Structure 1
């Protein structure tokens, strides 16, 4: 009986040893550098940690806009005689853009956060939209002054009266809140502890993406932070790095080129876009579309949808004194801005890229910029900066953001790609261009003049064309101007699941051996 028991135990040990051996056989080998041969994420290697290759996730509220080439500028007669949007071909890299304009309820969420975290009315008041933009000497618009921004009936109507500066700050705030929530959901930071810190009025010590990545914001660790420990020292980091691919890029205002490209939605005219490698779309670069919702060069409705007959596809002013049509037969059914997801989306799925409200873009206005700027990712408004290390380390300002300083011309004078830290007025009245317009002196145009695009609820049809452009000072608001956010796309230009470049099957080529 004892021998039988010993044999049984020996069998169990053999089975266990076999299972252990099997596990070791199937254990995944650490990745190896094709450059040095050293292994990654390996306690027996150099200790270099490399996260698994992954695509960028789509942030809340955003849609993917596949980039490409298009004709930027006016594609119809310049009836306003502005001569500020001369057509030229440019290329825009893929990016993300808000599906809709930023709504009143979204902006009120921002104000609520400011009030709770800083508990300082001066900070909150600085961000308040100007509701007095509704006033006019010869119109009774007082109800909109009091109720448009706050009344729940207008929750999902676009916020107006927001200056360019306020829109810029909102985008920064939104990016921080999105990344903060991502870290909560991943268990990298402790949500309960972090929210408790906010409820107590964290003030300057609030979560900021850049501060977190630089180690200047110490978040309360979550239960999953140990997943990112050093493979050799076994030390658990305080913060994760950007290289982990979890933190999203900043939300920001779209550039003028991005906004105009996205507004056209030309992908709708491209047969079989992004279906497969065998059936990819044609390069229909000759089309000169007039309106965002069009699926043909004339800007007409799709003839297959007979129910569209007589329907307005944007919220605009048909003529003097006609903001919505006749009772019983209202044309666009909106006397002021309408809901952010009303009317017909364009080829990229973006709503109200014409009409409803015009929208701020990132660019500083110049009449001739479209002919002066680069033909790839064109943009005017660069003021190059660096993290301020004057005290020996990165520091945060009163709002919790990392402090930056402007680059000096002396610091970049030996560079080949740029020699000026302040590039807003580049090729503008200097010795290279010999052109000057007396900006800010003899005209209304200055370095504070920002571009806004798209027609509004109170504009005629001419301004609905994405090629049209106007400007307003960055510290001014209007009842006809709102905004939406954008985000840079990292990785494949065709979106997640699609590789960059053309890839071909490996085949033997004349049986030639490679050394």
Structure 2
């Protein structure tokens, strides 16, 4: 782990790519804390599984009684062929598609989980140093508890990602992601059908494949999205925008997303190997995304934090 010193910063969007939920930019102070130098790896997660026998969300059959609380009343039960142990796996489109329809590049893959990232015929042999993926919020909490750690707050995550730079767009500064030498594992080319592989990686990359930020943290941009402890509220920043700043914000009391009002969501940060300026620009330090607690995907992992 790396020690991140206490400090204050302006949290929120830094350029015209910022979404409405990244504003208003507001002053935040955080106490010093420890954070993992890298995303949790397959090797680290395997040690947790071997010690505890834990079964991840993706390895369990979904419970319709739990799922239906996340969808509008009256939503019909999916067929039994869908309610199987599965997870979301990336499948490239054959050509240009609407970027508003993620079903064009995600498939619900039976048998996909942390040990089988692309489905039952895949495995993680030789990928011990890759970030563990297909991790739900519940899975991340279980690992943190076992390791004596916790998930970082959203404010801690952004403060750490900025690496001491003030009002910069990326962990490395302001040079665009596709200028100069590759700085993060992202999607180069035309998403979601043509990747030029300028960074040499189509999917996730081993941790520490790219230079760290000024705090010595790796992959705070790209590679895989990372869970934060906070609930997601699209208007949260406006509630903590105080002239004198706010100390150690922990996130809203409840989740609020007008796109899916019944779903309970948490913040994910950092972007992934699928991020591209045409789609999500997730490698920006201020970029906020949200997903349901039971979500597990091929590009979703985490790193842990710890108090002094």
Which range, TM-score by smaller chain? 0.7 to 0.9
SS in 1 for 2:87: helix
How far, CA to CA, are the matches of 2:201 and 2:287 in structure 1? 23
How far, CA to CA, are the matches of 2:176 and 2:247 in structure 1? 30
Query: Displacement of 1:485 after TM fit?
Result: 0.2
What residue in structure 2 maps to residue 448 of structure 1? Answer: 264
Are the aligned partners of 1:360 and 1:452 in contact in 2 as well (CA < 8 Å)?
Answer: yes
What residue in structure 2 maps to residue 100 of structure 1? Answer: 38
Query: Displacement of 1:132 after TM fit?
Result: 3.2
What residue in structure 2 maps to residue 164 of structure 1? Answer: 137
Task: Give the 5 Å matches for 1:292-311.
Answer: 292-294=171-173, 298-299=174-175, 310-311=180-181
What residue in structure 1 maps to residue 127 of structure 2? Answer: 154
Is the helix fraction higher in 1 or 2?
1
Query: Displacement of 1:310 after TM fit?
Result: 3.5
CA RMSD in angstroms comes to 3.0
The 1:135/1:311 distance shift into structure 2, 3 A limit, reads closer
How far, CA to CA, are the matches of 1:375 and 1:323 in structure 2? 43
How far, CA to CA, are the matches of 1:96 and 1:446 in structure 2? 34
SS in 1 for 2:229: strand
SS in 2 for 1:257: helix
The 1:84/1:151 distance shift into structure 2, 3 A limit, reads closer
How far, CA to CA, are the matches of 1:138 and 1:450 in structure 2? 24
Query: Displacement of 1:83 after TM fit?
Result: 3.7
What residue in structure 1 maps to residue 95 of structure 2? Answer: none
Verify: 1:337 aligned to 2:204, yes or no. Answer: yes
SS in 2 for 1:338: coil
Query: Displacement of 1:447 after TM fit?
Result: 7.1
Are the aligned partners of 1:73 and 1:86 in contact in 2 as well (CA < 8 Å)?
Answer: yes
Q: Larger Rg: 1 or 2?
A: 1
How far, CA to CA, are the matches of 2:167 and 2:22 in structure 1? 18
Runs of 4+ with >4 A deviation: 125-131, 135-143, 321-324
The 1:91/1:147 distance shift into structure 2, 3 A limit, reads farther
- Paired residue for 2:249, among 378, 385, 388? 378
Task: Give the 5 Å matches for 1:63-462.
Answer: 63-78=2-17, 81-115=19-53, 124=55, 128=59, 132-134=87-89, 136=91, 144-146=118-120, 150-175=123-148, 251-266=149-164, 287-294=166-173, 298-299=174-175, 310-321=180-191, 324-325=195-196, 330-373=197-240, 375-380=246-251, 424-425=253-254, 439=256, 443-445=259-261, 448-461=264-277, 462=281
Query: Displacement of 1:147 after TM fit?
Result: 5.8
SS in 1 for 2:126: helix
User: Any stretches of 5+ residues in structure 1 without a counterpart?
Assistant: 1-61, 116-122, 176-250, 270-286, 302-308, 382-423, 429-438, 490-515
Are the aligned partners of 1:90 and 1:376 in contact in 2 as well (CA < 8 Å)?
Answer: yes
Query: Displacement of 1:131 after TM fit?
Result: 6.1
How far, CA to CA, are the matches of 1:67 and 1:460 in structure 2? 32
- Paired residue for 1:468, among 266, 269, 287? 287
Are the aligned partners of 2:58 and 2:87 in contact in 1 as well (CA < 8 Å)?
Answer: no
The 1:147/1:254 distance shift into structure 2, 3 A limit, reads farther
How far, CA to CA, are the matches of 1:473 and 1:360 in structure 2? 11
SS in 2 for 1:145: coil
What residue in structure 1 maps to residue 82 of structure 2? Answer: none
How far, CA to CA, are the matches of 1:144 and 1:337 in structure 2? 11
How far, CA to CA, are the matches of 2:20 and 2:194 in structure 1? 25
Query: Displacement of 1:65 after TM fit?
Result: 0.8
Query: Displacement of 1:125 after TM fit?
Result: 5.5
Query: Displacement of 1:468 after TM fit?
Result: 0.9
What residue in structure 2 maps to residue 417 of structure 1? Answer: none
Are the aligned partners of 1:167 and 1:483 in contact in 2 as well (CA < 8 Å)?
Answer: yes
The 1:154/1:290 distance shift into structure 2, 3 A limit, reads same
Are the aligned partners of 2:57 and 2:296 in contact in 1 as well (CA < 8 Å)?
Answer: no
**Structure with the larger RCO, 1 or 2 (CA within 8 Å, 6+ apart):** 2
The 1:145/1:265 distance shift into structure 2, 3 A limit, reads same
Is the strand fraction higher in 1 or 2?
2
The 1:299/1:174 distance shift into structure 2, 3 A limit, reads same
How far, CA to CA, are the matches of 2:159 and 2:145 in structure 1? 23
User: Any stretches of 5+ residues in structure 2 without a counterpart?
Assistant: 61-84, 92-102
Are the aligned partners of 2:187 and 2:195 in contact in 1 as well (CA < 8 Å)?
Answer: yes
